[in-house]
């Protein structure tokens, strides 16, 4: 559980987190076992918004929820992960979804994306604040079954971890499934009318914000870097015109509940950054 005087509390309330969350799923899928675990154990093709919603809810609870809510959410995630297995598409061997190295990759890909995409969107952090954010994110890592010292706690440590892990990352058939899904989720009903806007504005934008080495691994042409940054900053600037209490209703409403619980002193704003 974060507190109002943390970098996490402020950063996670920024509207660029919507794009960062999608970008993190592209990055996670470059690990062949992470992608296989999702494709083999998820019903995301039948419930396209379910996984995105569950991920957003877990991040929202861990940031803005009460200690009791955080404990309950973490216990549920650990229980689900403990019961799941996947099959390595290359070797045919079984693997645990809660394997520590796999959990570590998923955590690191997620928080690295949150930090880099939101900063790229124009959210100003000092290098010390960026380090503090990753140090704070060690606590959520413990909620899924890792030890705090198993995950990077600074920008330098994260860069070293990613460099160490890159040889194991690649585009796989399962990564392609995730790529297609994130570009054009198979939504039904009225939501289908929004796909023409979602795909270029969010789906491909989030992909284009991946690190250069990740884009090379996928092999799909991204938007030029300057264009991607400009679009991201335009989207964020437009979203910031919406009052926070209205904006934070989507997707989970956890920020508003935290403000009601703690008071206006908890209203996320850069002035509270440590």
Beta-ladder partners of 87: 94
User: pTM of the prediction?
Assistant: 0.95
Distances (CA, A) of 53 to 29, 89, 154, 242, 273: 18, 27, 28, 21, 27
Structure tokens at 147: 């030890």
Q: Is the pLDDT of residue 190 over 70?
A: no
HEC sequence for 25-74: HHHHCCCHHHHHHHHHHCCCCCCCCHHHHHHHHHHHHHHHCCHHHHHHHH
Contact yes or no for 118/59 (Cβ under 8 A): no
Percent of the chain residues past pLDDT 90, beyond the cut: 85
* pLDDT band, very low/low/confident/very high, at 48 (cuts 50, 70, 90): low
252-267 b/e with 16+ CB inside 10 Å = b? bebbbbbbeeeeeebb
Kindly report, residue by residue over 139-169, the tens digit of the pLDDT: 999 999 999 999 999 999 999 999 999 999 9
d(CA 155, CA 91) in angstroms, rounded, equals 34
CB count, 10 Å around CB of 173? 11
Percent of the chain topping pLDDT 70: 96
User: Tens of pLDDT along 86-97?
Assistant: 999 999 999 999
Query: Looking at residue 252, what is its pLDDT?
Result: 84
According to the model, what pLDDT value does residue 195 have? 77
Q: Any idea where the domains of the chain sit in the sequence?
A: 7-272
- Confidence tier at 1 by pLDDT (50, 70, 90): confident
């Amino acid at each position: 559980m974060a507190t109002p005087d943390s970098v996490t509390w402020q950063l996670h309330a920024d509207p660029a987190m919507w794009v960062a969350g999608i970008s993190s799923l592209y990055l996670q899928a470059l690990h062949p076992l992470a992608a296989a675990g999702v494709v083999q154990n998820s019903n995301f093709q039948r419930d396209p918004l379910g996984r995105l919603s569950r991920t957003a809810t877990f991040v929202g609870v861990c940031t803005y929820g009460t200690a009791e809510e955080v404990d309950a959410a973490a216990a549920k995630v650990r229980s689900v992960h403990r019961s799941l297995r996947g099959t390595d598409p290359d070797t045919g061997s079984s693997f645990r979804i809660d394997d520590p190295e796999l959990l570590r990759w998923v955590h690191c890909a997620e928080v690295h994306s949150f930090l880099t995409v939101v900063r790229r969107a124009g959210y100003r952090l000092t290098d010390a604040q960026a380090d503090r954010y990753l140090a704070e994110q060690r606590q959520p890592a413990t909620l899924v079954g890792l030890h705090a010292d198993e995950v990077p706690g600074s920008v330098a440590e994260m860069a070293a971890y990613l460099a160490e892990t890159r040889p194991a990352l690649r585009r796989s058939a399962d990564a392609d499934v995730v790529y297609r899904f994130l570009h054009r989720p198979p939504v039904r009903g009225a939501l289908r009318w929004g796909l023409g806007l979602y795909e270029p504005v969010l789906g491909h934008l989030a992909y284009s914000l991946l690190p250069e080495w990740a884009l090379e691994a996928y092999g799909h042409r991204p938007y030029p870097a300057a264009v991607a940054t400009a679009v991201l900053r335009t989207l964020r600037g437009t979203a910031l015109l919406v009052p926070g209490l209205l904006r934070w209703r989507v997707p989970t409403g956890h920020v508003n509940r935290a403000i009601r619980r703690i008071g206006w002193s908890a209203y996320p704003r850069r002035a509270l950054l440590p």
